[in-house]
Amino acid sequence: MEPSARLRGAERPEPIMSQLDLLLVSQSNVVDHEGYADLPVDRLELYKSLVYPRMVHYEGKFRGHLDYMNHQNFGKFYSEGTYSERRDMLNIWNLPAMSGPHIAIYLAQFGIRVRLINNIDSEWDWFCEAYDSSPRPPLVGLSSTFYLSWKEVGRVTKTLRRHDPDMDIVVGGAFANTQASEDQLHGPEKPMRKHGIRYFVHSFNSEPDLRDLTLAHRDRGSLDQVKNLCHISGRLADGPYSANETQWHDPILDEVPPEWDRVEMPFLNKTIQIRTASGCPFACAFCSYPTTARGWKTIDADHVRSHLDAATRIPGLENIIFIDDTFNVPPHRFEELLRIFCEYDFEWFSFLRVQYADESIIRLMKESGCRGVYLGIESASDRVLKNMNKRATRKAFATGVELLNKYDINYLAAFVLGFPGEDESTIRENIDFIKDHGVRYYSLKEFYYLANTMVHEKREEYGLVGMGAKWAHATMDHERAAQIKLEMFLEIDQSVLVDADTSLWHMAYLYDQGYGFDRMRSSQSEINDLMKRQLAEPPRAVALPAAESRI
């Protein structure tokens, strides 16, 4: 495949002509494939559920699915490319994040000049050029939306501080929010000193705090009025550490002007991501989002229209990913949005609670340009669904999947394995559901146990112990769930597995890169077949496809 012809990314960003206030890094290569690359295959039994089916063993190392495709298409892996080449190679983190443009639009109305770096691992040269050409070093922001630990924060900040040891770095976003609370405001101090982070914004909806911090940093003003801020004065190693007053902010939705076409996005190909709601009206027992979001808020349909007007003014834009957790709830609002979408020429992807979509809605989705949806099915067992508080049934999911098949809308059905109540019989229900209803794409992920969830409140009832990825309860433990993941993958043969870490974005990103769904399915099926052969015999004994095979 020829590299995707970029609509804007082929050109370097415009040179900075005045002071840059904030240089914002939206994301990085979060999954550390290199850390798995050199694991010894002769000890595969010890870790195979960690690498499969997330990776494939190819050219002597474990590789991500997209990097396997990179070698087929470009003759090299992502890590071997120059920064210019990396921007044209397949990497899920090259897909423009929603957070960067959203923040840039919000801050611009306060006279704050922002330069966006979407994926720093592909755009490091752009970062250095922007930072070095600003008359005074700008504040450097690092969004932690997709981070699960300090490890990735540390990797990125180490790179940043090699460029300038005195760089002022602020970390904010979802991971930051989990690291500090009103009774644990000193929690970030040690890692901030270790990783050279001067500012740490820990609020859930942090846009106003980032605004106040950026203005104070630019104008050399006082930090006293910046809420939800932990900061170090003087030397990062031993300077005074302070934690400012905490304050809850409602989500910033209506307050963001519809100015997508005014944001400089040299990394953009054909797709952007937009949010039309914050929070979630549901309370799934394994999910912490409803608790942390403290409510649910939507943008009215007319305001959504104004954002679509601005987005469709971007030259070459063809696709939009709506990242709302519950995009089709309430149904009457969703129908109103679909009728608005019919007035435009873009195609779109979203999350979908398919149990609330009847035939008329799915037909309208097709007519309005829907190309793919993510279905958080989680389980096809009514017993497990009840324990999960999913407010759905196997029958409702089956009806929805059959309608999506009928109207040829592509979808990925996500399954969580090992939730309390799960046993061998409920796993069989999942397998039969996928086979019997012709599920097109699916993903498998083990249950992850969080303390601030509804299931934690019922831990004694379920005999649930442990935390995070390591847990056990009355009917299963994490080790058995990991084994089941591989057993299901090996048994299911007509549906195509997609890595749970990329899920909906895998489809949307490859579509952005010019892959039709037939080609997408063919390439991922080839990867699935190779992984299955490797699970059946040692990777070094597997005959690998010829390097000139292009997928």
Kindly report the backbone phi and psi dihedral angles of residue 406, in degrees, each rounded to the nearest multiple of 5, phi listed first.
-60, -40
Determine the pLDDT at residue 44.
86
Decide if 383 is inside a domain: yes
At 46, the amino acid letter reads L
**Same-domain pairing of 398 and 461:** yes
Asked if residues 116 and 157 have their Cβ atoms less than 8 Å apart, the reply is no
- What letter would DSSP give residue 220? T
| Planar angle of CA 276, 507, 522, nearest 5 degrees | 165
Determine the pLDDT at residue 5.
40
Decide if 229 is inside a domain: yes
**Same-domain pairing of 238 and 295:** no
Decide if 528 is inside a domain: no
**Same-domain pairing of 291 and 145:** no
CATH of the domain at 488: 3.20.20.70
**Same-domain pairing of 315 and 381:** yes
Bridging pattern class, strands 470-473 and 465-467? antiparallel
**Same-domain pairing of 311 and 378:** yes
Decide if 249 is inside a domain: no
Determine the pLDDT at residue 40.
81
Determine the pLDDT at residue 45.
87
At 81, the amino acid letter reads G
Decide if 543 is inside a domain: no
b/e map of 106-133 (b: 16 or more CB within 10 Å)? bbbeeebbbbbbbbbbbbbebbebbbee
Question: Given 486, 501, 516, which residue is the final one in a domain?
Answer: 501
Query: How many structural domains compose the chain?
Result: 2
Determine the pLDDT at residue 545.
53
Q: Which residues contact 430 (CB under 8 A, 6 or more apart)?
A: 379, 380, 381, 415, 417, 488
CATH of the domain at 103: 3.40.50.280
**Same-domain pairing of 361 and 281:** yes
**Same-domain pairing of 297 and 154:** no
Whole-angstrom Cα distance, residue 188 to residue 178? 10
**Same-domain pairing of 330 and 206:** no
Alpha-helical (H) ranges within 342-423 are 359-367, 382-388, 394-406
Determine the pLDDT at residue 500.
94
Q: Which residues contact 336 (CB under 8 A, 6 or more apart)?
A: 301
Determine the pLDDT at residue 106.
96
Residue 223 token pair: 């930090």
Question: Given 227, 243, 259, which residue is the final one in a domain?
Answer: 243
Please provide the distance, in angstroms rounded to a whole number, between the alpha carbons at the two ends of the chain: 7
Angle between the 301-311 and 331-341 helix axes, to the nearest 10 degrees? 30
Determine the pLDDT at residue 7.
38
Decide if 116 is inside a domain: yes
Its domain, for residue 113, covers: 22-29+94-243
**Same-domain pairing of 232 and 294:** no
Asked if residues 88 and 6 have their Cβ atoms less than 8 Å apart, the reply is yes
Question: Given 195, 228, 243, which residue is the final one in a domain?
Answer: 243
Whole-angstrom Cα distance, residue 405 to residue 441? 11
Whole-angstrom Cα distance, residue 533 to residue 435? 21
| Planar angle of CA 155, 156, 161, nearest 5 degrees | 105
**Same-domain pairing of 474 and 343:** yes
The answer to whether the predicted template modeling score (pTM) of the entire model surpasses 0.75 is yes
Residue 358 token pair: 């009847």
**Same-domain pairing of 221 and 294:** no
Decide if 294 is inside a domain: yes
Q: Which helix (H) or strand (E) holds 280?
A: none
- Digit-by-digit pLDDT tens for the chain (551 residues) are 333 444 344 455 655 457 899 999 999 998 877 777 777 878 888 899 999 999 999 998 999 999 999 999 999 999 999 999 999 999 999 999 999 999 999 999 999 999 999 999 999 999 999 999 999 999 999 999 889 889 999 999 999 999 999 999 999 998 998 888 666 888 899 999 999 999 999 998 999 999 999 999 999 999 999 999 999 999 999 999 999 999 999 888 888 999 999 999 999 999 999 999 988 877 788 787 666 767 788 889 999 999 999 999 999 999 999 999 999 999 999 999 999 999 999 999 999 999 999 999 999 999 999 999 999 999 999 999 999 999 999 999 999 999 999 999 999 999 999 999 999 999 999 999 999 999 999 999 999 998 889 999 999 999 999 999 999 999 999 999 999 999 999 999 999 999 999 999 999 999 999 999 999 999 999 999 999 999 998 776 444 454 445 56
Decide if 549 is inside a domain: no
**Same-domain pairing of 145 and 276:** no
Asked if residues 507 and 372 have their Cβ atoms less than 8 Å apart, the reply is yes
Whole-angstrom Cα distance, residue 346 to residue 348? 7
